[in-house]
Amino acid sequence: MKIKPDIGSRLADRITSPDYKRTTGRLAGLDGERCPLGVLCDMYLEEHEEACWSPMYDRFFDAEGFTNAHLQHPPKGVREWAGLEMGGSYRIAFLNDNGADINDIARMLRGEKVRFSLEDSLE
């Protein structure tokens, strides 16, 4: 999976933080929960003033457009900024939504080889 190393490492740090509240099946929940890709949107927001979460976290907007929070994938502009291909976005969402250990997802984001028991065909 490809992601810019500095962004992957920062994202891994955030999702393993004790302050992180995890959600599945969507980018963001109404109580501040995020899937790892929602955290990636938060990171993008910190560096791009044109980006924003809409009220009620229903949508995330960037310069390229928007995505619905329940669609699980960040907009194209966020993915391009992070160097994350759509296949990598699908993989992160799949692993998160199917209960992979968040520490293993973090290791993968740091570039380590991780074998997930729930995905025998992916490496």
Q: Over the stretch 47-96, which tens digit does the pLDDT of each residue have? A: 988 777 776 555 665 556 555 555 678 888 889 999 999 899 999 999 99
Residue 96 and residue 105 in contact, taking contact as beta carbons nearer than 8 Å: yes
What SS3 class is residue 28? strand
Q: Give pLDDT, residue 61.
A: 59
What gap in Å lies between CA 54 and CA 38, rounded to an integer?
A: 13
> What are the residue ranges of helices labelled H in the chain?
5-15, 36-47, 76-82, 86-97, 102-109
Is pLDDT larger for residue 57 or for residue 42?
Answer: 42
Q: Give pLDDT, residue 58.
A: 59
What SS3 class is residue 103? helix
pTM value is: 0.84
